[in-house]
Amino acid sequence: MRLSGRNLKCVRGGREVFSGLDLAATEGEALAVTGPNGAGKTSLLRVLAGLLVPADGTIALEGGDAELSLPEQAHYLGHRDALKPALSVAENLSFWREFLGGKTEDAGRCLAAVGLDHAAHLPAAYLSAGQRRRLSIARLLSVRRPVWLLDEPTSALDTAGQALFAALMRDHLASGGLIVAATHLPLGIDARDLRMGGAA
Amino acid sequence: MSALAALIRRDIKIALRVGGGALIGVLFFLTVTVLMPFAVGPDLALLSRLGPAILWLGALLASLLTLDRLFTADHEDGSLDLIVMSRTPLELACAAKALAHWIAAGLPLIVATPVLGLLLNLDGTATLAVAATLLAGTPALTFTGMIGAALAVTLHRGGLLLAVLVLPLSIPVLIFGVAASQAAISGPLPFGTPFSILCALSLASLVIGPFAAAASLRHGLD
């Protein structure tokens, strides 16, 4: 499997965020997108996730499921956690597990993997920022998707959480997945660096 | 299919919990209808003549009240991104969300109608007629309102805009809903004629609404 983008250009609100960007990542490889604030890291991830239409350039995923598009084979972990405060931790996770579909894992085991099994029946409104992030990570585990698009995945996590997430990312890479992560902090895994330029 | 069922179940669950929209709509409906006899005065004949129109207006405003959160809530917490990316066609996801909204916020209005009919001096037939027209007509309100709700996501803070956009679309539904109720109560038109048109409006909006909303959401992604 190989994810590649050629000559990507992104324009938001009439302002060019980046242009002429090439990227490539193969199976088992992590790409760390770094750069100053406003360099377009989030925009790049949203372009890859199909949530922004690139002004120019092409994106291709070779060796994936030919029936499915890249966004349909990808997990997107954004700034916003996609959690409903009115639902419990377990309900939030099992909704995404059922809605996203495909190959799924046992929800209880995923919660245990991120250290939230003790809080399964707590409404998500009572979770801390780090716990919310852990619950979002459990979503990545509960549904099997080969491509992970992560936007500042470790920002709210404590040291133990960061180590835990690094281990989970390593497992994902070892099982043939690939990761594109925008980050300021070290991810804790071997990753190729994609440096994006300064703000235009 | 299980993805859509999960979406419907989730939205209904959220609407019924504390802070959800279902109860707010019914309370608003109740308030409008209860206040009306005090405003109109103790003229029972006038009240029963105005009854169907009051109930329809109340239902229209109540459904509009909760509709603007249909997509903005999911947009704000990032759920909408994942729904757009998912393997479920966005049109079907929109239809599922509207259906869930109708079940959680529209059906309770219809259930409350017989009770509120008593306050407006409507007899059994009249109440039944209004309830039947609401049952046939409120899906049209939800599914056309969904288009406005999707546009409100694109245009940030579009809550007020929703009312301006959706109200003109709901005028035909209001006209034929009230006309059918009046026809059942006093004639001279047969009940079936305006009621059929009301059903047709609902069916048309069932088809157009999801496509228009999905197109608007896709266009407005950022």
DSSP state of B187: -
Could you report the per-residue pLDDT of B60-111, keeping only the tens digit for each?
988 888 888 888 888 888 899 899 988 889 999 999 999 999 999 889 899 9
**A199 pLDDT higher than 50:** no
Residue from the list A52, A68, A95 with its beta carbon closest to the beta carbon of B87: A68
CB B181 within 8 A of CB B126: yes
Q: Do A51 and B85 touch (CB under 8 A)?
A: yes
Tokens 């300021």, residue located: A184
CB atoms within 10 A of CB A55: 14
A2-195 topology per CATH: Rossmann fold (3.40.50)
Structural domain total, chain B:
1
- Exposed/middle/buried for residue B64 (C-beta within 10 Å: 0-12, 13-18, 19+): buried
Handedness of CA B166, B171, B177, B178 (dihedral sign): positive
- Contacts of residue A106, defined as CB under 8 A and 6 or more positions apart, other chains included, come to none
- Contacts of residue A168, defined as CB under 8 A and 6 or more positions apart, other chains included, come to A113, A114, A137, A140, A141
**B140 pLDDT higher than 90:** yes
Look at B66 and B55; give whichever has higher pLDDT.
Answer: B55
- The helix (H) or strand (E) run that includes residue A149 is strand A147-151
Domain hosting B130: range is: 3-221
* Domain locations along chain A: 2-195
Residue B94: predicted pLDDT:
94
Distance in angstroms (rounded) separating the CA atoms of residues B220 and A16:
18
List the single range of A68-82, A118-132, B148-162 with lowest mean pLDDT.
B148-162
The answer, for B156 touching chain A at a CB cutoff of 8 Å, is no
pLDDT band at B191 (very low <50, low <70, confident <90, very high): confident
CB A80 within 8 A of CB B77: yes
- Contacts of residue B79, defined as CB under 8 A and 6 or more positions apart, other chains included, come to A82, A84, B73
**B137 pLDDT higher than 70:** yes
Nearest to A108 by CA among A118, A100, A99: A118
- Contacts of residue A6, defined as CB under 8 A and 6 or more positions apart, other chains included, come to A22, A57, A58, A59
The dihedrals phi and psi of B203, each to the nearest 5 degrees, come to -65, -40
The answer, for A163 touching chain B at a CB cutoff of 8 Å, is no
CB B62 within 8 A of CB A75: no
Distance (Å) from the alpha carbon of A193 to chain B's nearest alpha carbon: 26
Residues 89-108 of A with CB under 8 A from B: 91, 95-96, 98-102
**B209 pLDDT higher than 90:** yes
Chain A residues near residue B86 by CB distance under 8 angstroms: 72, 99-101
Could you report the per-residue pLDDT of A25-83, keeping only the tens digit for each?
888 888 888 888 888 888 888 898 888 888 888 888 888 787 888 888 899 998 888 88
In chain B, how long is the greatest CA-to-CA distance? Answer: 58
Distance in angstroms (rounded) separating the CA atoms of residues B82 and B160:
27
Distance (Å) from the alpha carbon of A93 to chain B's nearest alpha carbon: 11
DSSP state of A72: G
DSSP state of A191: -
**A200 pLDDT higher than 50:** no
Query: ipTM of this model?
Result: 0.88
The answer, for B3 touching chain A at a CB cutoff of 8 Å, is yes
- What integer is the mean pLDDT of B49-61? 89
Residue B47 identity (one-letter amino acid): L
- Give the residue from B14, B87, B156 with the most A CB atoms within 10 Å of its CB, the best one to mutate: B87
CB B70 within 8 A of CB B146: yes
Q: Do A52 and B83 touch (CB under 8 A)?
A: no
- What integer is the mean pLDDT of B45-66? 87
Residues 69-128 of B with CB under 8 A from A: 76-79, 81-88
CB B59 within 8 A of CB B29: yes
Distance (Å) from the alpha carbon of A22 to chain B's nearest alpha carbon: 22
Distance in angstroms (rounded) separating the CA atoms of residues A110 and A92:
12
Distance (Å) from the alpha carbon of A174 to chain B's nearest alpha carbon: 25
Distance (Å) from the alpha carbon of A187 to chain B's nearest alpha carbon: 23
Q: Do A87 and B10 touch (CB under 8 A)?
A: yes
Cis peptide before B188 (omega within 30 of 0): yes
CB atoms within 10 A of CB B124: 9
CB A176 within 8 A of CB A28: yes
- Give the residue from A43, A98, A99 with the most B CB atoms within 10 Å of its CB, the best one to mutate: A99
Sort residue B41 into left (φ over 0), alpha (ψ -120 to 50) or beta: left
Judging by DSSP bridges, how do beta strands A15-26 and A2-12 pair with one another? antiparallel
Coil/strand/helix, residue B167: helix
**B151 pLDDT higher than 50:** yes
Q: Do A72 and B84 touch (CB under 8 A)?
A: no
Could you report the per-residue pLDDT of A90-115, keeping only the tens digit for each?
899 889 988 988 778 888 888 888 88
Percentage of chain B beyond pLDDT 90 is: 32
The answer, for A84 touching chain B at a CB cutoff of 8 Å, is yes
Residue from the list B6, B20, B77 with its beta carbon closest to the beta carbon of A99: B6
Tokens 């038109």, residue located: B189
Q: Both tokens of residue B79?
A: 């759920």
Chain A residues near residue B19 by CB distance under 8 angstroms: 86
CB A152 within 8 A of CB A183: yes
Q: Both tokens of residue B222?
A: 């950022």
Residue from the list B6, B7, B79 with its beta carbon closest to the beta carbon of A82: B79
Distance in angstroms (rounded) separating the CA atoms of residues B103 and B22:
9
Judging by DSSP bridges, how do beta strands A15-26 and A178-182 pair with one another? unpaired
The answer, for A74 touching chain B at a CB cutoff of 8 Å, is yes
Could you report the per-residue pLDDT of A132-173, keeping only the tens digit for each?
999 999 998 898 888 999 998 888 888 888 888 899 898 899
